[in-house]
A and B are shown apart, each in its own frame.
Chain A
């Protein structure tokens, strides 16, 4: 067995938490059940990884099998990577039968004609997702297994989820191979990124709860604890709370939000100030870059108005994220009739 393959398997095994090693090796299916029985999982990870490498040696593993183990690991720990959504376009409306063998063949041929040294590995999952791992080399160098690109493609949809390699120059090649293999004509980045691959899928496949304008106003849950010294104030508070709750339900829906960690806005809009303040009366746009970040952005945005930190309804710039399926925006002043609204190109 190649030295680099052995080292790659060892390092991949080391990444796996100890109590998941057996499960992942079983999923891999490269080692027989009998071989797995001989492994002692009650020792330090370093020793386990050495034993795994030894067994792989017996089965003379090559880089293809090692790459499959890497895909299995990344499929389970997909939230460790940053994913970006791409949309492909056809010129006509023709529907074609999708043939996975044909797809793989074309994808490989395209990449290998451009670059001899690549490792290309496919793995199909039950939800119609094809995982593709590409490790990149150069004409004179073997592929670097530690800096691969990962692609998740759902056939029958125009969407591709890419976790790109740190080797930036490989991205155009990858995109080319994807459109050629899937018979599309064009591919573009949707400006939608997250660590949560499933949330990205929820957004572009419209799988998240979207009961806009359909829900009936419901009183807030949880008992009211305000002292009833002035019934009118309590009533006003309650109706305001109900209004905020209703508006929130309308724009965010009642279900859990897809997980995004950030949203970014490049603002090039006019600075409008109170004329009494006599500040900055410029005809040029005021240039800003605003970034929102949170472990769960949409849930935190949803809780802004109820916490009194924002107006209800919240700005459409923020609430449009799921239906526009993007979290990177460039905002310019809308020309014409509506001076208070903005557009994003």
Chain B
């Protein structure tokens, strides 16, 4: 599977524009508030102003939106570490043929395992494949329903009444991925974000079958420090009813005699209080606000330790909503904010594809 970790130069500008467009699309769904009315001008503005210039804005109704998905059906997503990939549009994928696909993928995995048997001794497992649609995970009307791939094992020796043991999970989704769905020709299915949980060898097998069958391309999706800082600012400001876990930023300091990691964990109430004074218009986030938030945290740290965190690399953030690592591994912790998190990730996946 192709590994592409280095973000392309200049991708952030597009990314930001897309984030606002995706956010604007979400706003169309949310009837309350003035977001809908500002939409046309915002779109114009977003095209005129690349990321990095001032006055860029992001509307974030997703993070405050009503629960859309049935929490029961999406519960499997929560509290698992998911490895992220971007996937180019699938060619010739037909939802009605999921059973056939499952059978074919199962046969493919079995064949590959047979090949591997010469070296890999003691593999006694039958892998069962199930493909299903997750109608609850999608954003706009243009989004395709998410697609879940489940691999479970059945031991040959004790197959009498033993249950199938899940060994690997992966799912494709698109949440407000309109920019991509609008632009592809017929016969293409846009599910740009792929998340996997389980042994990498299975990810490789499933990935290569999809690549071969639907002429698509998988790439690891890294998250830049800039995007991590957006995420931590956004999620630090989210309202939570139950006692929340700390807002944590993990930095690694490069070019030292010995490697150094710094974890900076802030009490969630204090982080939210800070963000609330930084953010001037509720429901909107600007580039400057994220910068001010981070600069304030850096200044507080510098006052105590005389260390410039801004020169260190932000590698991981965690909040009560979700945690994200720069290598492209996320954990989603709160079902209410699932659509918002997936929207952001969909957008990152799309910007990597384009």
Contacts and interface: CB of A to CB of B under 8 A. Distances in A.
Interface of B is mostly: mixed
A288 B303 CA distance: 13
Contact of A317 (B257, B262, B305, B308): B305
B266 A302 contact: no
Given A279-B278, A294-B259, A309-B256, A267 B307 contact: no
Interface string B302-332: 1111111001100000000000000000000
Contact of A290 (B262, B267, B270, B273): B262
Nearest to A288: B266
Nearest to B311: A309
Contact of A278 (B258, B264, B277, B305): B277
A293 interface: yes
Given A273-B299, A294-B259, A302-B257, A310 B306 contact: yes
Interface string A274-294: 100111111010111111111
Nearest to B253: A309
A280 B296 CA distance: 9
B189 to A, nearest CB: 45
A286 B256 contact: no
Contact of B258 (A286, A288, A296, A342): A296
A301 to B, nearest CB: 7
Contact of B253 (A267, A284, A300): A300
B206 interface: no
Contact of B267 (A265, A282, A288): A288
A309 B266 contact: no
Nearest to A318: B305
Given A287-B267, A292-B262, A308-B311, A315 B257 contact: no
Contacts of B253: 300, 304, 307, 309
A304 B304 contact: no
B304 A294 contact: no
Assign chain B's interface to a size class.
Answer: 20 to 34
B226 interface: no
Nearest to A281: B277
A300 to B, nearest CB: 4
Interface string A299-324: 11111100111110111011000000
A299 B257 contact: yes
Contacts of A274: 299
A290 B292 contact: no
Interface string B238-261: 000000001000000101111111
Contacts of B261: 292-294
Given A288-B264, A288-B267, A293-B261, A315 B256 contact: no
Given A287-B266, A309-B308, A279 B258 contact: no
Nearest to A308: B311
A136 B263 CA distance: 36
B69 interface: no
Nearest to A296: B258
A265 B263 CA distance: 10
Contacts of A311: 302, 306
Nearest to A286: B270
A331 interface: yes
Given A279-B292, A280-B274, A288 B256 contact: no
Given A279-B292, A296-B258, A309-B308, 19 more contacts: A265-B304, A272-B303, A280-B274, A286-B270, A288-B264, A288-B265, A288-B270, A290-B264, A290-B305, A291-B263, A293-B262, A297-B260, A300-B256, A300-B257, A303-B256, A308-B311, A309-B253, A311-B302, A318-B305
- A-B pairs with lowest CB-CB distance, top 4: A287-B267, A300-B258, A300-B260, A311-B306
25 contacts: A277-B296, A279-B277, A279-B278, A279-B296, A280-B273, A280-B274, A290-B262, A290-B265, A290-B301, A290-B304, A291-B262, A291-B265, A293-B260, A294-B258, A294-B260, A300-B260, A303-B257, A307-B253, A307-B256, A310-B307, A311-B302, A314-B306, A314-B307, A315-B304, A318-B306
